[in-house]
Structure 1
Amino acid sequence: MGQQLLDRLGDLTRTFANVLIIGRRCPSLIAGLAAIPATSNAQISFIEQSATLAERFGVIIGEEDQLPVEPDSFDCILWPGGLESVNDVPGALLRCRLALHGDGLLLGCFPGDGSFPLLRQVMRHSDGDVAVARMHPQLDARAMGDVLAKVGLTMTVVDCDRLTLSYASLADLVADLRSAAWTNMLSGAVRPITRQGLDWANSAFAAASDNGRALEQLRLIHFSGWSPHPDQPKAARRGSATMSLAKALRAR
């Protein structure tokens, strides 16, 4: 996800002076920002939920959906994962817009709807007839586009990228999820998986394997939007075109 953000920033012709990164400190993302023209001279700030980590790295402490920053503080906000787990998505995006200067950029991505279908299937096997909240609800691209517009961002873009991951066992998939900090985030007690349930889940995972490997899907939703500014390009008024689509196609 960090590399995708760098690729998209690399396509821009403008530069940014103050960049806020929401979420974990990713060394490769930080190094990449210093290597591209858009952010090579930018001052980089971070939001960190952990008080211990915030003190260690000297960064801002705060919740992702409650940015403790002043309005008009940054001209670029990057959010490489994490939006999918916040309590108030519209509120979080609105706070991002307010934290941006006019014509500032919000750019991010997160795992969206359709991610980890195999894991969802095997978890249903593990729990039998009992419904257990084991995975977050997932945002879809259309809803994300609507929310970006509703919070007042302009020139919004939402697109998707599907990754196929191959695993030899359910344990390997769970290990990757833990490494990415994508495991349970619920504050209360969670119904544990029984030994029999785990056996069912492993069996379901093995049944979905082909030649000893099971394929899992990860659907990344990329989003961007700009804080409003009078100098931004504006869409033409509906009905103001001087050439019909049919004529334009014939001319082509």
Structure 2
Amino acid sequence: MATPPRIFDPARRRAVRARIAARQMRPDAARFVIEDMVEDVLDRLSFVRHEPGRTLVVGDWSGSLGAALEQQGAEVARADVHELDEEQPYPQSEFDLIASLGTLDTVNDLPGALIHIREALKPGGRAIASFVGAGSLGHLRAAMFAGDGERPAARMHPMVDIRAAAQLLQRAGWAEPVADCRTLRVSYRSLDRLVGDLRDQGLGSALASPAPALGKAALERARAAFLQAAGPDGRVVETFEILTLSGRRSLRGT
């Protein structure tokens, strides 16, 4: 089997996640992406009438999902990228539910990570994985290109689109696979506030080969380019496409 390309650096990935706690101490810290993901998972479980027992929640730094599931009677284990290598077999298995929030977009081997989730479920167990997908942050991308000028650098992650996600679920052997996407729209008066919101939520760069920091002139070009997309109210509406993958492990256990 071919080794997947090394796009993301595990150490940088852990560092990005580690900074969340400190940034969330700020009174105006953003948390709308994780809040949307938690609400969506609970809605999906209610819709399919799945009452999880033994549950693993990965990546929910807010703690909200685990707390809500425990109130419903679930036995909840929690993990983040510091404790769990999602590209390796899970140390525990036989989970009735695995919910992964905001982490799978920065693994190097996404097909392998999806297989490991399936294998950590008990037969009939359900998995739900959400992360920021393709089509997100278009104005930020344009601003970074403008800042770099004639020598653009790789500053933002490659992102998975919904069609590729559906194919990956089938390859990973998930039963009843579903891939869907929803859009969050958030308005900003400055590029700096958008970047701050990304850092608050652990959505900063974890690229293995990070680009050099923008110089002062380049940063000013990026700021100006970002504001060119502003509407009559002076605000730029940025989009976050939240991709969600869901499915089950076959009752046959494979």
Instruction: Give the TM-score taking structure 1 as reference length.
Output: 0.81
Deviant stretches of 4+, over 6 Å: none
What residue number does 1:223 align with? Answer: 245
Q: Does 1:3 align with 2:39?
A: yes
Offset from partner CA, 1:136-162 (integer Å, 9 cap, x none): 101011111111111111111111101
Among the aligned pairs, what percent are the same residue? Answer: 34
Q: Aligned to 1:2, what secondary structure does the other structure show?
A: helix
Higher relative contact order by CA 8 Å / sep ≥ 6: 1 or 2?
Answer: 2
Shift of 1:189: 5.1
Task: Report the counterpart of residue 227 of structure 2 in structure 1.
Answer: 206
Matched-pair contact (CA < 8 Å) for 1:19–1:45 = yes
- Supply the distance in 2 between the matched residues of 1:160 and 1:188 (Cα, whole angstroms): 29
1:88 aligned to which of 94, 109, 123: 109
Q: How far apart, in 2, do the equivalents of 1:178 and 1:49 lie?
A: 16
- Work out whether residues 55 and 98 of structure 2, in 8 Å CA contact, stay in contact via their aligned partners in 1: yes
- In 1, distance between residues paired with 2:119 and 2:198? 32
Deviations for 1:15-48, whole angstroms, at most 9, x for unmatched residues?
Answer: 221101111432222232234xxxx221111223
- Structure 2: stretches of 5+ with no match in the other structure: 1-36
Deviations 1:38-66 (A, max 9, x none): xx22111122333xxxxxxxxxx222332
- Counterpart residue type for residue 47 of structure 2: D
Go from structure 1 to structure 2 and tell me whether the alpha carbon gap of 1:218 and 1:65 turns closer, same or farther (over 3 Å shift): same
Match status 1:14 vs 2:50: yes
Task: Find the residue that maps to 1:104 and give its secondary structure.
Answer: strand
In 1, distance between residues paired with 2:80 and 2:243? 22
Specify the structure having the higher radius of gyration (Cα): 1
Q: Which residue of 1 aligns with 2:185?
A: 164
Residues in 1 aligned to 2:215 and 2:130: alpha-carbon distance in whole angstroms = 34
**Correspondence for 1:47:** 79
How far residue 8 of structure 1 moved from its aligned partner, in angstroms, is: 0.8
SS of the equivalent of 2:44 reads helix
Letter in 2 for 1:42: A
Gaps of 5+ in 1: 51-60, 232-252
Structure 1 residues 49, 108: CA separation in 2 closer, same or farther (over 3 Å shift)? closer
Q: What amino acid sits opposite 2:38 in the alignment?
A: G
* Cα displacement string for residues 121-179 of structure 1 (whole angstroms, at most 9, x for unaligned residues): 00001111113111110101111111111111111111110111100110110110010
Q: What SS does structure 2 have at the residue aligned with 1:228? A: coil
How many pairs are equivalent?
216
Task: Map 1:167-178 to 2 at 5 A.
Answer: 167-178=188-199
List aligned pairs for 1:125-140, cutoff 5 A: 125-140=146-161
> Which residue does 1:112 correspond to in 2?
133
TM-score, structure 2 as length reference: 0.80
Take 2:216 and 2:230, find their aligned partners in 1: how far apart are those partners? 21
Would the aligned equivalents of 1:22 and 1:64 in 2 still touch at CA under 8 Å?
no
